[in-house]
Amino acid sequence: MVHTSAMHIFSNFRFQLVLATVALLAGAAFAQAPLESVPDDPFFADFKPVKAPVETSLIFKTGDKLAICGDSITEQKLYSRIIETYLTVCVPELKITTRQYGWGGETAEGFYRRMTNDCLRFKPDVATLCYGMNDHHYESYKEETAKWFENNTKGIVESFKEHGVRVILGSSSCIGKMPPWANAKKYTVKDMNLSLCAFRNIDIDLAGKEGVRFADVFWPMFKGGFEARQKYGANYNIAGKDGVHPGWNGHAFMARAFLKAAGLDGNIGTFTVDLKEGTATATEGHHIDKFQDNVVFVTSHKYPFCALGSPEDDNSIRSTMALIPFNEELNRLQLVVKNGTAANYKITWGKESHTYTAAQLEKGINLANDFADNPFVPAFEAVDKAVADKEDYETRQIKSLFHGPEGQVDMDATVALSEKTREPRVKALAAAFIPVTHQIQIQPQ
């Protein structure tokens, strides 16, 4: 017995030594990696975010099926809705179809266990992952927890790759204040965000090793939340009222991360007007019906992303657009006016009018950025409502039917019947996306 116990102790020592060595090597690798620029404020002093890769090539192929996977933040169906609506109206030529797989309280391990039944059966071509929030256990960083997270995330990525799925591995969002369910006596919000930042660095390393894409959710959101509080006041919440589940502002940060990682270029279209020649042209997806009396009449078959609301409202997508270059990067609907002879011109588009110099118009203005309440808003909102209805059903389909009594009795029949119920929602989404006719008026001042 003494000999056996000694051997057990020695074996356990060797195991712990291996773990410590792995941790040391990983720490050394991260220490040598280039870091993101960190604001010069004590708030960020202990954060060491590894520099995220920048993607420029498009991950999508025409007709791809996208799976959006994650925990309760994904199940909120906000960033997933932004992504699906964006893909539907801003790049309709890609013909992307989407399913939402968010599950409240889930970890990477939970999805790893259910991904074959719930997700792979629908043969996705591209998948986004957003785990880490529940995985870090709302505590300070622990190597054992981090390895558990990394191993399960690696298992998901490799399983997707084995089935020919292209992966965008996203880091988690950040924590804005102490969640009601966390151990506030033992840990601080900073402890938890440092842990999530370390998990983000693990995701970057894993994405590089596995040859998949990385979407940087945590760092831009964490930094943006700090900057927003400086700008709008201490009550501005980037991570939601409970400190974890964001409103529209935080989810816009998240959607931007995944859309950028997908390599989308943000070119919605360009209208070019030559006042000297009396001509107007448009890029693909838009048709100039006529140009008469300095008014451009257009029919558009693709939309800009529309977001109303105040920049100060922390439950507004428009708020995020004031904090990060969402419109510059992903939402450019340009108007270029050449050969103007007046010093200034008033541009009227829908309900809004703004005045620009001739030089500004010659360079080009971004209509999507400058005109919030524009002629696309009603049609855009109809599409977004259809997306919301479809994604709401997808949550019920997976959680209540596949994992409910129906699925336990006969999974194949449950899938077939629920797909018949989902199909009208898919058709309603397609029917909601209609051409928009609009006018751009150019008046010399």
Among 223, 224, 220, smallest CA distance to 323 is for 224
Spell out the residues 6+ positions from residue 210 whose beta carbon is closer than 8 angstroms to its own. Answer: 154, 157, 158, 161, 167, 169
Would you place residue 282 in the very low, low, confident or very high pLDDT band (cuts 50, 70, 90)?
A: very high
- Dist CA 74 CA 250 (whole Å): 12
The answer to whether 72 and 104 are in contact (CB under 8 A) is yes
Both tokens of 423, joined, read: 């199909």
pLDDT tens digit string along 128-182?
999 999 999 999 999 999 999 999 999 999 999 999 999 999 999 999 999 999 9
pLDDT tens digit string along 314-345?
899 999 998 999 999 999 999 999 999 999 99
Instruction: Fill in the DSSP letter of residue 57.
Output: S
pLDDT at 32: 74
Whether the per-residue pLDDT at 16 is higher than 80: the answer is no
- Dist CA 357 CA 362 (whole Å): 9
- Averaged pLDDT, 92-97: 98
pTM: 0.92
Whether the per-residue pLDDT at 3 is higher than 60: the answer is no
Would you place residue 21 in the very low, low, confident or very high pLDDT band (cuts 50, 70, 90)?
A: very low
Whether the per-residue pLDDT at 1 is higher than 50: the answer is no
φ, ψ of residue 187 in degrees (nearest 5): -130, 155
- Averaged pLDDT, 211-222: 98
- Dist CA 53 CA 130 (whole Å): 17
pLDDT at 33: 84
Among 197, 199, 101, smallest CA distance to 150 is for 199
pLDDT at 311: 82
pLDDT at 31: 58
- Averaged pLDDT, 62-85: 98
The answer to whether 315 and 251 are in contact (CB under 8 A) is no
φ, ψ of residue 321 in degrees (nearest 5): -65, -20
The CA distances from residue 46 to 25, 38, 222, 269, 373, in Å, are 20, 10, 13, 43, 42
Whether the per-residue pLDDT at 52 is higher than 50: the answer is yes
- Dist CA 242 CA 191 (whole Å): 17
Rounded to the nearest integer, the mean pLDDT of the chain is 93
- Averaged pLDDT, 2-15: 40
pLDDT at 377: 98
Bridge partner list, 98: 66
- Dist CA 348 CA 276 (whole Å): 20
Residue 381 three-state SS? helix
Instruction: Fill in the DSSP letter of residue 311.
Output: T
